[in-house]
Structure 1
Amino acid sequence: MTHLTKIGLLAGLISIHFQASSQVTGTANFPKIGYTNVDVVMARLPESKAMQNQLEITKSQLEKAIDESIKEFQGKADNYQKTASQMTDLIRADKEKELENLQTRIQEMRSKAQYSLQDKQQQLMAPIQTKVNAAIQQVGKENAYAYIINMDGGEGTVPFILFASAEENNVTNLILEKLGVNPGQPEAPVKSEQSGPIPTTANPKPLPANKNSKQ
């Protein structure tokens, strides 16, 4: 579903609500609509900062395991280059196969590590999202909002709200207070190093062809 389609559906829902209110009351009472930015709310929660720390720890552990495998490969590759000329064809072929298997294992480790990090993030994020959604529901009901709309649909997406003239309809502070966060308290600085993909720069050096090995 495209962003324009989503916005069109939202406008349609608001229009239906508006028409229903007019028919019942006989007046043009536009529904009360609030807005927030869920990403901003989540970033202010202590649970989100704890989640980021856990992701950094997990990422470091995965990177360490990959680095150790790369060092193992490079050590065996160096030893192979030094001693290949003294090996029989059978031993040389066995060593080359071992090195090929190590390269394959490193690539598989890197791929699995990335999925593992993503799964860890989803597991840690789920209860935070549930908590934020519950707070939004409470704020909406307690303040008689017909809708509370997310200001931003996510990174790289078109915001659902392009203009808002009434700041009183920004319910972000109400949601933060509901979550036990003081909106006026300065946000703690975020570490510049964010959890991201497992780096691919530290690749094992390819095994040079040995002139003594058979093609």
Structure 2
Amino acid sequence: MTLTRKFRLALAVAAFSFAAAPAALAQTTAPATAAAGPLKIGYTNVDYVLSQMPESRQIESQLKDYSTQLKNQLDAKVTEYRTKGEAYTKGASTMSDVVRADKEKELTNLQQSIQEFQQNAEQSVQQRQQTLLKPVLDKVQKTIDAVAEKNGYTYVFNSDAGFGTTPILLHGPKDGDISDLVLKEMGVTPGQNNQPAAVKPAATPAPAAAAPAGKTKVKKK
């Protein structure tokens, strides 16, 4: 999930509503349309706005620290698995059937524990990311609303709907781009971050639990 997916879904709903607008306008009387005034449409690049906000860099740093903590815990589990696996491989020939079966069960349980920890860690990082991003996305939405009201924009679209997807806005005049207005409204100087890349979804680096040397035959449940 990209960082702005929830925000983009909201914008997609707005775009759908706008698609129905011509039909609704056609049903209004001429005096009412004139009184309402002409439509003014603007657009913004949400990823660009996020990339310029200091909150995004703070979130990226927090997610990196959290991801590192989880990775260290996972590395410790993998090290324990490999160490016990190597010990099993070296001493398997001298173990009784009971001891050998107990060691194999222990290794199997450790392997399953590693896999479960990896899955839970990835979900935990995503949840932490969503929690940290929510107030930032709420701030962006409120600022867009404020800028639209101040400048008379009837609709505002997102010009970058995501990686590998079609933007909601395919063409628009330069003076319709309110991205810098949104940043200024938040007290952020446009262009101060020369790397306009929004915070990417954090992933928990997780080394695979390699089987111990000696081709230990430990069956998975």
TM over 0.5, shorter chain = yes
**Does 2:81 align with 1:73?**
yes
CA positional deviation for 1:29 = 5.0
Is the 1:153–1:160 Cα contact (8 Å) retained in structure 2?
A: yes
Rounded Cα–Cα distance in structure 1 between residues aligned with 2:54 and 2:211: 42
Q: Hey, what does 2:106 align to over in structure 1?
A: 98
**Does 2:99 align with 1:113?**
no
Aligned to 1:204, what secondary structure does the other structure show? coil
With CA pairs under 8 Å and 6+ residues apart, which has the higher RCO, 1 or 2? 2
Is the 1:103–1:204 Cα contact (8 Å) retained in structure 2?
A: no
**Does 2:211 align with 1:197?**
no
Identity across the alignment (%): 35
CA positional deviation for 1:187 = 1.2
Q: Hey, what does 1:155 align to over in structure 2?
A: 163
Instruction: Tell me the TM-score normalized by structure 2.
Output: 0.81
Q: Residues 93, 25 of structure 1: CA spacing in aligned structure 2 closer, same or farther, 3 A cutoff? A: closer
CA positional deviation for 1:13 = 1.8
Q: Residues 145, 79 of structure 1: CA spacing in aligned structure 2 closer, same or farther, 3 A cutoff? A: same
Q: Residues 63, 14 of structure 1: CA spacing in aligned structure 2 closer, same or farther, 3 A cutoff? A: farther
1:181 aligned residue (151, 169, 188): 188
Rounded Cα–Cα distance in structure 2 between residues aligned with 1:190 and 1:100: 46
Rounded Cα–Cα distance in structure 2 between residues aligned with 1:60 and 1:67: 10
Greater CA drift, 200-209 or 140-149: 200-209
Is the 1:59–1:195 Cα contact (8 Å) retained in structure 2?
A: no
Is the 1:35–1:149 Cα contact (8 Å) retained in structure 2?
A: yes
Instruction: Tell me the TM-score normalized by structure 1.
Output: 0.83
Q: Residues 33, 19 of structure 1: CA spacing in aligned structure 2 closer, same or farther, 3 A cutoff? A: farther
Q: How many residues are aligned here?
A: 205
Q: Hey, what does 1:213 align to over in structure 2?
A: none
Is the 2:53–2:188 Cα contact (8 Å) retained in structure 1?
A: yes
Deviations 1:52-94 (CA, angstroms, capped at 9, x unpaired): 0111111111111111111100000000111111111111111
Q: Residues 22, 154 of structure 1: CA spacing in aligned structure 2 closer, same or farther, 3 A cutoff? A: farther
Rounded Cα–Cα distance in structure 1 between residues aligned with 2:107 and 2:59: 37
Is the 1:31–1:145 Cα contact (8 Å) retained in structure 2?
A: yes
Aligned to 2:164, what secondary structure does the other structure show? coil
Q: RMSD of the alignment, in Å? A: 2.9
Is the 1:14–1:31 Cα contact (8 Å) retained in structure 2?
A: no
Q: Hey, what does 1:35 align to over in structure 2?
A: 43
